[in-house]
């Protein structure tokens, strides 16, 4: 199945989603939205995003409807660990080869494959990973910025099944075009961090950590007020993102 087989209406939906994604400025918000939308397209129960940092992948974002519904803090405990870019792991192999991988059952990977599935997460969380769609996140000039791994496609009855041919075409189309937003978010974050380091040099009492806290608290206050007033979730995410960045930039 090629991308030419996608119905024009579906392509238009993907383009509209990309346009919304590009409105965000902060990389955390972008990754959250990217992963959520990719899961919506593929009907995946869970997923994660790994970003390239020098010679390894950093586990940067995770979502799981079965395990983390309404409990973001529980999800965060699984982030921020590093994985080598090699053939041993599924995401490492994806990064190294630059190819998407579809696995119908993670517990039945052929022994002739160089990669294997690590069951530690499943065992500790009481989860069962079945299908996996692991794909590289590449820029328009084919530079790798990370890997997205989608877990457990669901059929209409909620059973975990392999990812459809449609998902294997539409998700890479969406993800590869979304890397521009990721790069923009990373550059914004790096600019803010540079300004905070300058702040620390100019006034040691006003540390970068303080600036980060003020931005995070302000964004959190806005979200609570907006939710109480019935502001749409999409609008809340967009303005929460902007509030945090504006405060960080103005406190430099």
CATH of the domain at 91: 3.30.450.40
Q: Can you give the C-alpha Rg of the chain in angstroms?
A: 19
Least confident of 17-21, 46-50, 114-118, 165-169: 17-21
Same domain, yes or no: 58 and 167: yes
The reply to whether 196 falls in a domain is: no
Is the domain of 139 the same as that of 241? no
Query: Does one domain contain both 45 and 164?
Result: yes
Judge whether 194 lies within some domain: no
**140 and 240 inside one domain:** no
Asked if residue 230 and residue 122 are part of one domain, the reply reads no
Q: Please check whether residue 68 lies inside any domain of the structure.
A: yes
**Residue 180 shares a structural domain with residue 215:** no
Residue 232's domain spans which residues?
A: 203-250
Q: What's the domain count of the chain? A: 2
Q: Which of 92-106, 111-125, 135-149, 235-249 has the lowest mean pLDDT?
A: 235-249
What is the number of alpha carbons within 13 Å of residue 168 lying toward its C-beta? 15
pLDDT bucket at 12, cuts 50 / 70 / 90 = confident
pLDDT at 71: 47
Asked whether residue 192 is assigned to any structural domain, the reply reads no
Least confident of 26-35, 161-170, 188-197: 188-197
The pTM of this model reads 0.71
Q: Are residues 16 and 129 located together in one domain of the fold?
A: yes
Tell me if 84 is assigned to some domain: yes
Q: Is residue 27 part of a domain?
A: yes
Quick check: is 193 in a domain? no
pLDDT surpassing 90 at residue 151:
yes
Question: Is the domain of 215 the same as that of 175?
Answer: no
Same domain (yes/no): 233, 161: no
C-beta of residue 178 within 8 angstroms of C-beta of residue 52: no
Of 186, 221, 236, the residue that ends a domain is 186
Q: Which of 21, 96, 17 is nearest to 55 (CA)?
A: 96
Tokens of 89: 């792991």
Name which of 42, 89, 39, 91 is nearest 65 in CA terms: 39
pLDDT category of residue 28 using cuts at 50, 70 and 90: confident
Residues 95 and 171 placed together within one structural domain of the fold:
yes
Residue 71 shares a structural domain with residue 168: yes
- 199: confidence class by pLDDT, cuts 50, 70, 90: low
């Amino acid at each position: 199945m090629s991308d030419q087989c996608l119905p024009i209406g579906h392509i238009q939906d993907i383009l509209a989603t990309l346009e919304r994604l590009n409105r965000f400025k902060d990389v955390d918000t972008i990754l959250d939205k990217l992963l959520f939308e990719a899961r919506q397209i593929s009907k995946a129960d869970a997923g994660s995003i790994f970003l390239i940092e020098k010679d390894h992948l950093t586990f940067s974002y995770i979502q799981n409807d079965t395990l983390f519904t309404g409990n973001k803090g529980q999800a965060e405990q699984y982030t921020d660990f590093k994985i080598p870019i090699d053939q041993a792991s599924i995401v490492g192999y994806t990064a190294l080869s630059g190819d998407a991988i579809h696995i119908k059952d993670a517990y039945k990977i052929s022994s002739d494959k160089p990669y294997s599935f690590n069951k530690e997460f499943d065992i500790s969380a009481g989860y069962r990973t079945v299908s996996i769609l692991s794909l590289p996140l590449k820029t328009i000039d084919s530079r790798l910025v990370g890997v997205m791994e989608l877990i457990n496609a669901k059929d209409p009855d909620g059973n975990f099944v392999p990812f459809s041919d449609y998902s294997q075409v539409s998700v890479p189309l969406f993800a590869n075009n979304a890397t521009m937003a990721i790069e923009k978010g990373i550059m914004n974050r790096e600019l803010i961090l540079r300004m905070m380091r300058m702040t620390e040099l100019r006034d040691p009492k006003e540390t970068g950590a303080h600036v980060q806290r003020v931005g995070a608290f302000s964004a959190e206050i806005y979200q609570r007020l907006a939710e109480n007033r019935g502001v749409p979730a999409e609008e809340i995410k967009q303005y929460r993102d902007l509030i945090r960045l504006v405060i960080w930039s103005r406190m430099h």
